[in-house]
Amino acid sequence: EAGVAQSPRYKIIEKRQSVAFWCNPISGHATLYWYQQILGQGPKLLIQFQNNGVVDDSQLPKDRFSAERLKGVDSTLKIQPAKLEDSAVYLCASSLENLAYEQYFGPGTRLTVT
């Protein structure tokens, strides 16, 4: 079974530029999550999708971050414009239908904002 795929693996941009990350979840997983992990901290949930609907985006900085999951499969997370404090690893995870199931994580995208 293929795991969660993410791209790119690494990205370096200057502040005020925009960037987008892509995630392809495990086939058949209805729930998709985006996390931000700052060095030395645990991951912080940014947004959770159930199919193509948003379940929780309470910690997403909506003035600069946006995410979509068209057709309930792949998802993209965008930052525009980026700030220095956005430097982090962005992790995508997926799980089966409901909250009782395990989350499976992709390898992450390491973003450096200079």
Q: Which residue ranges make up the site for other proteins (CB under 8 A)? A: 4, 33, 40-45, 48, 55-56, 91, 93, 99-108, 110
Would you say 43 or 86 has its CB closer to other proteins? 43
Grouping H, G, I as helix, E, B as strand and the rest as coil, residue 84 is: helix
Provide the sign of the torsion angle of the four alpha carbons 73, 68, 49, 45, taken in this order. Answer: positive
Shortest distance in whole angstroms from residue 46 CB to other proteins: 11
Question: Considering the complex, what minimum distance in angstroms separates the CB of residue 100 from other proteins?
Answer: 6
The rounded distance, in Å, linking the Cα atoms of 106 and 90 is 9
Find all residues with CB under 8 Å of 82, minimum gap 6, and list them.
Answer: 13, 14, 15, 16, 17, 18, 19, 64, 111, 113
Q: How far is the CB of 81 from other proteins (least distance, A)?
A: 27
Looking at the Cβ atoms of 27 and 41, the one nearer to other proteins is 41
CB nearer to other proteins: give 84 or 101: 101
